[in-house]
Amino acid sequence: MTNIARHTTAIILAAGLGTRMKSRLPKALQRLGNRPMITHLIETAREVFDDVVVVVGPDMPELEKVVLPYRTIVQTDRLGTAHATNMAKDLFGDGDIAVLYADNPLITADTMRKLTAARQTGASLALLGMRPVNPGRYGRIVEEQGRVSRIVEFKDATEDERQITLCNAGVMCAGANDFRTWLAAVDNNNAQGEYYLTDVVAMAATQGRVQCVEAPESELAGVNSRSELAQAEATLQARLRAAAMEAGVTLVSPETTFLSTDTILEADVVVEPNVFFGPGVTVRSGALIRAFSHLEGCTVGEGSMIGPYARLRPGTVCAADTHVGNFVELKNVDLGRGAKANHLTYLGDASVGAETNVGAGTVTCNYDGYFKHRTIIGERNFIGSDSILVAPVTIGDDALIAAGSTITEDVPAEGLAFGRARQIVKPGRGLEIKQTLKAKKEQG
C-alpha cells in the first residue's frame, strides 16, 4: 500500500487485441517470465496504488479471469485511449488516478512512485517520458520555455516535431476530477479519428505545471509484436538474474539461464549453463542444478544435485541431499532424503524413501491408459537396473529388487523380489481389458 495521503487508483488499459502479435489471445495475456504481461503490471501497481481497475475489450473472459479480484470495465467500442480511460470514470474515486498500459509491463515500482511524487509536489499532471535509441513512431513530448506544453502523435507531427527525442510513454497521473473534466473535452479531430488521451496534456498545461518524469527505455518500451515481446523478455530475464546473483546465487552462465518470475533460488545455489526454471520452482540452499535441466512446479532440497539433462515436473519434491541424474524424469514424486535416481529413469506418481537407490532404466508404470496409480517405495531400498514397477504397488523398507524385474505385487520389508517371467501371449485379452477399463471410466 502507498503512503501517499490522498487515495490513488491505477487505471490499466488492456482492451487491445494486439493484431501484430497474430494471436488468438488478447495482447495483455501474452506471457513474460511465464506469466501474463498484465499480471506483472498489476502486482507492481499494487505496491504503489490503493486500488486497481482494468479496462478490457469485449469478449475477453480469459483476461477478466486473470485480473481477478480487481474490477474490470468493458470498452465495447475501441475508440482510443481517452475513450477507454473515460469508460472507467465512475471508478476514479476522489483522489488521484494514474493511467497505465498493459503493454508496458516492466515499469518498476520506483518509477511509479516518482510519477505520483511529481503529482504530489504541485504538478497539475505528471507523465512518464523516455529517450529511446530509435524514437520511431512514438508520440513526442513538446516543451516550450522548459515546460511541457503538449504531446503530438507521430502521425500528426510536423517534421520538426518528429526530431524531438523526448517521447511519450503514455503513462500519466492527475487528480480524478481534473481527469473527468479533461476527458469530456477530448475530441477525435486527428489522423486516426480516435480520442487520444494525450490531448489532456495541453489542457493540463493551461491550468498549471505539467511535469515529465524520465525513465529508461527498457522500462517503458511498448510490447506490440512478437519481436518486442522477446526484447521485453530479455529485459525481464536480466533483472531476474541480477536479483538472483545479488541474493547469493551462482549462475555459471547467466545469459543461458531462464527464470520464471516466481522462481525461488536460495543463497549458495549453483546453476550450470542452459537451465530452464518454469513456474513454481523453489531450490534450497547449497543445491547444484547441472546443465541442460528443466524444472517446473517442484522443490529441490538443500545440498541436492539435479542433472545434467534432468527433468523435474510439477508435484515433485526432492528432499535434502538427493541426486537426480542424467536423463531422469520425475513427475509428482516425493524423493526422500539422500535418495538417488542417477540414470535414465522415469518415476511418476511415486514416493521414494530415504537413502533408496533407484537403478538405471527403472520405470514406474503409473498409467494404465485410463487411470493414474501410485508406487510406494520404502527406505534404504535398492531397485535394480531396468526394473518395471507396475502401480499400484508398494515395496517395503530395506528390500532389494533384482535387475530386469517386472514387479506387479507388493514386496515386504527386507524382501528380495525377482520378476523375470517367461513371455505369455493371450490372444484378444488386451482389447478385452481396454474395453473394460473404458467402460469403467465412462461410468465414473
Which residue positions form the known binding site for Mg(2+)? 103, 224
Positions at the binding site for UDP-N-acetyl-alpha-D-glucosamine: 13-16, 27, 75, 80-81, 139, 153, 168, 224, 313, 331, 346, 357
How many Å apart are CA 127 and CA 179, to the nearest integer?
A: 13
How many Å apart are CA 359 and CA 406, to the nearest integer?
A: 14
How many Å apart are CA 276 and CA 420, to the nearest integer?
A: 39
- Annotated catalytic residue 373: no
How many Å apart are CA 69 and CA 77, to the nearest integer?
A: 24
From the list 178, 83, 120, 82, the residue with the least C-alpha distance to 4 is: 120
- Phi and psi angles of residue 207, each rounded to the nearest 5 degrees, phi first: -95, -20
The type of residue at 176 is A
Q: How far is CA 443 from the centre of its chain?
A: 38
80 near 192, Cβ under 8 Å?
A: yes
Measured CA to CA in angstroms, residue 432 lies from 368, 437, 444 at distances of 14, 9, 19
7, 294, 343, 373: the catalytic one is: 343
How many Å apart are CA 373 and CA 355, to the nearest integer?
A: 23
From the list 186, 191, 226, 222, the residue with the least C-alpha distance to 202 is: 186
How many Å apart are CA 161 and CA 347, to the nearest integer?
A: 64
Buried b (16+ CB within 10 A) or exposed e, 140-176: bbbeeeeebebbbbbebbeeeeeebebbbbbbbbbbb
Measured CA to CA in angstroms, residue 46 lies from 5, 113, 374 at distances of 16, 11, 42
Residues acting as catalytic residues:
343
